[in-house]
């Protein structure tokens, strides 16, 4: 308990600039931990739903059943990708475009859907990278300022004994320690989330490939059909 009291006393006795620096680092720490917890839950759930949805989609008998197997779960990263592909497929089929045009446009729509889904999942993750990169330097600034203040006090007191220097230096070094305390979890969280997002992106790319294969098979089945039969090949939204 004495150690904790001494640590707090050093913070309260630090210079105003050092206290402001540590207050900023505290805000960054709380924000980054909130982001870490939220993103961990979000990405873990998204990865699980992407894996399960891909299995159901792959095992479906045809494209219509495959799309219906996703169940309209808007929280799944596959949902947005599928909606992009379905909308483009139906629009082009109803317009009577050729199979090559349909497949090519659906491919671009799926690619766009993957990009948008990953952008949504990766939102705010850059804050962790910013925190990891800047927190040590913010802490170092507080330390440098504290050391400068300590030397200023030494000059005024006209003595350089350990008893005079040590308190100011120890107070100044707290800012660096706090900066590292903020930066390390943010770095670990950021790297972990990058790995999770790469896994999810791989699942989405695989899903887009399976979706496009089913579209091409669907087009081959209905190839040569008249416009009324083509209408039966539209996919439910």
Tell me which of 98 and 133 has the higher pLDDT: 133
Whose CA is closest to 80, among 37, 111, 104, 39? 111
Tell me which of 16 and 25 has the higher pLDDT: 25
pLDDT of residue 124: 84
Q: Strand, helix or coil at 123?
A: coil
Q: Given a cut of 50, is residue 229 above it in pLDDT?
A: no
Tokens of residue 166, six digits: 């040590």
Using a 10 angstrom Cβ sphere, with 0-12 exposed, 13-18 middle and 19 or more buried, the burial of residue 114 is buried
Tell me which of 17 and 188 has the higher pLDDT: 188
Q: Which residue has the tokens 């699942």?
A: 203
Beta-carbon neighbour count of residue 107 at 10 Å? 18
Whose CA is closest to 23, among 11, 6, 39? 11
pLDDT of residue 2: 40
Q: What is the pLDDT of residues 141-200, one digit of tens each?
A: 888 887 877 777 677 766 656 666 666 677 778 888 889 999 999 999 999 999 999 999
Q: What is the pLDDT of residues 92-124, one digit of tens each?
A: 777 766 767 878 888 898 999 999 999 989 888
What's the average model confidence in pLDDT over 34-42? 94
pLDDT of residue 131: 94
Mean pLDDT of the chain: 81
pLDDT of residue 38: 93
Contact 131, 28 (CB under 8 A): yes
- What is the value of pTM for the model shown? 0.77
Q: Where are the domains of the chain?
A: 2-231
Beta-carbon neighbour count of residue 7 at 10 Å? 13
Q: Which residue has the tokens 């309260």?
A: 12
Distance CA 55, CA 50 (A): 9
Tokens of residue 232, six digits: 């039966």
Q: Which residue has the tokens 């792959």?
A: 58
């Amino acid at each position: 308990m004495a150690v904790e009291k001494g640590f707090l006393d050093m913070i309260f006795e630090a210079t105003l600039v050092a206290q402001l620096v540590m207050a900023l680092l505290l805000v960054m720490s709380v924000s980054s931990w909130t982001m870490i917890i939220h993103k961990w839950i979000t990405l873990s759930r998204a990865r699980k739903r992407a894996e399960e949805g891909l299995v159901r989609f792959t095992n479906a008998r045809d494209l219509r059943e495959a799309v219906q197997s996703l169940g309209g779960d808007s929280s799944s990263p596959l949902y947005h990708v599928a909606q992009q592909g379905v909308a483009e497929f139906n629009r082009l089929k109803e317009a009577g475009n050729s199979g090559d045009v349909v497949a090519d446009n659906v491919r671009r729509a799926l690619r766009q859907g993957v990009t948008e889904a990953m952008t949504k999942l990766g939102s705010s993750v850059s804050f962790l990278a910013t925190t990891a990169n800047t927190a040590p330097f913010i802490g170092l600034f507080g330390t440098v300022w504290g050391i400068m203040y300590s030397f200023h006090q030494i000059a005024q007191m006209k003595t350089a004994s350990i008893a005079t220097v040590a308190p100011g230096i120890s107070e100044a070094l707290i800012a660096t320690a706090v900066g590292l305390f903020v930066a390390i979890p943010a770095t670990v969280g950021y790297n972990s989330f990058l790995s999770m997002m790469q896994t999810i992106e791989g699942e989405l790319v695989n899903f887009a490939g399976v979706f496009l294969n089913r579209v091409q098979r669907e087009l081959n089945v209905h190839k040569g059909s008249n416009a009324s039969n083509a209408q039966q090949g539209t996919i439910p939204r």
